[in-house]
Structure 1
Amino acid sequence: MTNKEKALALINTFVTGDTKTAGELLAENYIQHNLAYGTGREAFVGSVAYLAAAPVKTTVNNIRAFEDGDKVFLQTVYNFAGAGEQVAFDIFRIDDNGLIAEHWDNLAAVSEPNPSGHTQIDGTKEKKKVDAEETRKVVAGFVGDVLRGENPEKLTSYFDGDNYIQHNTAIADGLSGLGAALSAMAEQGIQMIYNTTHQVLADDNYGLAVSEGTFGGAHTSYYDLFRVEDGKIAEHWDVMETIAPEDTWQNQNGKF
């Protein structure tokens, strides 16, 4: 199995309840960064068993799957035991033994289409064979210069005019849509702040940035997926999640 196939097989155990397969895919000292779950292989296997016993069947619908070195990153819609559909980004690290050794994620409830009619998951799926390092450079540059605010004057250089497809639930297409949304938030006294970027993963012309900051003053994890076209940001999907208070964490590995 490829690393991507292993990650997809693991999330599918939420549907099948196959604890044996889950156990075989995971390293014993599996590190969990989802703060609602315990760490270690047995904790994950226990979650699979719990969902299998639930009266409502869990559904998993993977939308996009990518691979970068020893990491796989996925965009998936989950409905855990009928609790409601959630859009998620998952990152899995595979160790030297070929076992899934670490996991990070961000989840948000499925929302209505945004002002341009796009959902959180629709849009382009095809990849273009390009140098992933060039994609990583563009994404890391945009996140640093624009989202972290280090060189905001470079904003327009990352886009082909107003051609920008947006999947954020509250923002319309184009730089014009982004500007309007930021202005509206400012009028409401809401600040969206990116402080630190922990990972930038890339596969062909797609890049995922994992950042930490605040939204409206709340400690927040930002996962931003970008499609790059001819060196410009062409399309964007994201999941923003408020980080739970530390006294509620089920593991001490931290969100990042």
Structure 2
Amino acid sequence: MNIKAYTLGAVMTVSSATAFADKHIDQSTRLLNSIQTGDQAAASVINPNKYIQHNLMVADGIAGFGALLKTLPKDSARVHVVRAFRDGNYVFTHTEYNFFGPKIGFDIFRFENGKIVEHWDNLQETAVKPSPGGHSMIDGPTKAVDPEKTEANKMLVHDFLQKVWVEGDSKALSKYIDGERYVQHNPMIGDGVSGLNKAMKNMAEQGMTVKFDKVHQVLGQGNFVLAVTEGKFGDKPASYYDLFRVQSGKIVEHWDTIETIPPQSEWKNPNGKF
């Protein structure tokens, strides 16, 4: 399977990697918080000679990151990192933002030799109302457990996305999702397999296309797994970031963001979304 970082969790044992990885989490969180705090020293974790940017509205390099900060009105930005995990040399975060309006975002940072050398993200405007089950886009558990199950949980999530969403086998839902215990944070979908089936039916009746074409990244720590998938939302190319919580071999909770991909003529870097 050609999935970036799919087996990165196996590169270092949990015991030997903990201190190193926790430092990476702290550095990534501090960097994100600097959008609000203005902490210029936080950017020292970025490799000044190599910073590959996949946010298509931001230029490459540390200069691109600095230029982004300069576009924000003074003291206007707010950042609340809700979840932060690591998988080998990758850190992935789930964050509540407010810059140019409230947003929920996932960020992925790749480290080399102690410095961040690559960044991906996916942003969606924060829903005004909770999901049909009463959940926000960010509430729920935040701490990873079951580190020894990381690789099995990543495999489960990859197979779920490939089978159900890429190949379109909706009958396989019950194989991967824990029935009506499944908690859904997507603001348009109810809890349980029944809520997901109802939403899929409603979208089909409305002629709304939700298409998954390729799983690009699967990252995990313990019972939390983040997947990055390319597809279409309606008639536009889209990036899907899906965070899953797994328990006893079943998916029990889901958060996501969907971002449409602008035409290449509008990109500020040549790296692509994925």
Shorter-chain TM-score: what band? over 0.9
Q: Is residue 121 of structure 1 aligned with residue 142 of structure 2?
A: no
**Partner Cα distance (2:135, 2:42) in 1:** 36
Q: Is residue 146 of structure 1 aligned with residue 167 of structure 2?
A: no
Q: Match of 1:6?
A: 27
Q: Match of 1:249?
A: 267
Q: Is residue 57 of structure 1 aligned with residue 73 of structure 2?
A: no
1:1-256 matched pairs, under 5 angstroms: 2-22=23-43, 24-28=44-48, 29-51=50-72, 54-80=73-99, 83-95=100-112, 97-111=113-127, 112-130=129-147, 131-149=149-167, 151-256=169-274
CA shift in 2, pair 1:27/1:220, >3 Å: same
CA shift in 2, pair 1:113/1:150, >3 Å: closer
Q: Is the 8 A contact 1:18 1:48 kept in 2?
A: no
**Partner Cα distance (2:41, 2:70) in 1:** 10
Q: Which has the larger displacement, 189-198 or 148-157?
A: 148-157
CA shift in 2, pair 1:177/1:152, >3 Å: closer
CA displacement 1:190-223 (0-9 Å, x = unmatched): 1210000100001000100100000112101000
Q: C-alpha displacement at 1:152, in angstroms?
A: 3.9
Q: What code does the residue aligned with 1:42 have? A: A
Percent identity of paired positions between Structure 1 and Structure 2: 44
**Partner Cα distance (1:5, 1:126) in 2:** 15
- The Cα RMSD (Å) is 1.4
**Partner Cα distance (2:169, 2:198) in 1:** 20
Q: C-alpha displacement at 1:120, in angstroms?
A: 0.4
Q: Which has the larger displacement, 156-165 or 65-74?
A: 156-165
Q: What code does the residue aligned with 1:58 have? A: A
TM-score relative to the length of structure 1 = 0.94
SS of residue matched to 2:47:
strand
Q: Which runs of 5+ in 2 are unaligned?
A: 1-21
SS of residue matched to 1:47:
helix
Q: C-alpha displacement at 1:176, in angstroms?
A: 0.4
Q: C-alpha displacement at 1:56, in angstroms?
A: 4.0
**Partner Cα distance (2:64, 2:40) in 1:** 11
SS of residue matched to 1:113:
coil
SS of residue matched to 1:213:
strand
**Partner Cα distance (2:76, 2:235) in 1:** 36
Q: C-alpha displacement at 1:18, in angstroms?
A: 2.5
Q: C-alpha displacement at 1:12, in angstroms?
A: 1.4
Q: Is the 8 A contact 1:17 1:49 kept in 2?
A: no
Number of aligned residues: 250
TM-score relative to the length of structure 2 = 0.88
Q: What code does the residue aligned with 1:86 have? A: K
Q: C-alpha displacement at 1:46, in angstroms?
A: 3.0
SS of residue matched to 2:181:
coil
Q: C-alpha displacement at 1:50, in angstroms?
A: 4.3
